[in-house]
Amino acid sequence: MRKLTVFNHVSLDGYIQDAKGDMSWAHTMDPDPEWNAFVESNARGGGTLVFGRVTYELMTRYWPTEMARQNDPVVAERMNTMLKVVFSRTLKKATWNNASLISGDPVAAVRRLKQEDGEGMAMFGSGTIVAQLAPAGLIDEYQIVVNPLILGGGRTMFEGVPEPVRLKQTRVRAFSNGNVVLWYVPS
């Protein structure tokens, strides 16, 4: 069975997007070679990227660009070549390299994807999809990066989750730029 990992940045007050829907704050931190090495090491994994429409559209504005290839060559190469699944009821097609569109129920689709052979899947952003998959028990690991800033409002990753989802912490790692990565699995 394929494993699904959620990797998301959150502000100290728990938001994955600010009040305007922006997530760029998660990538405007002090330089930190250790953090950069961690990000590059994470990007070296294989598998499939999973997105909701909003995150997909944000990602396509940066990763296929020359700026991304100059600023983050290792991550850009992986983001642009990996397989991608996009959940949307409004997009007509997914145009990013190696992307396919699923317009049906994310819970049923992820159940099916997890049964397929292949490497794991990683989901970034996509709070609406995370909030649907978490209570269904379809997320195998949460990697949450707590960024050292307070947004004061925005959107959380778990908006609309109907009941508590219990998790067990498995690891913590702090970086000199102030980011702290927390790893959780369902308990």
Report how far apart, in Å, the C-alpha atoms of 88 and of each of 37, 53, 177 are: 33, 5, 35
Topology of 4-186 in CATH?
Dihydrofolate Reductase, subunit A (3.40.430)
- What is the residue-level pLDDT of the chain in tens, covering all 187 positions? 899 999 999 999 999 999 998 888 888 777 788 988 888 887 777 789 999 998 999 899 999 999 999 988 988 998 999 999 999 999 999 999 999 999 999 999 999 999 999 899 999 888 899 999 999 999 999 999 999 999 999 999 999 999 999 999 999 999 999 999 999 999 9
**What are the two backbone dihedrals, phi and then psi, of residue 161, each rounded to the nearest 5 degrees?**
-65, 125
Domain ranges of the chain: 4-186
Q: Cα separation of 87 and 52, whole Å?
A: 5
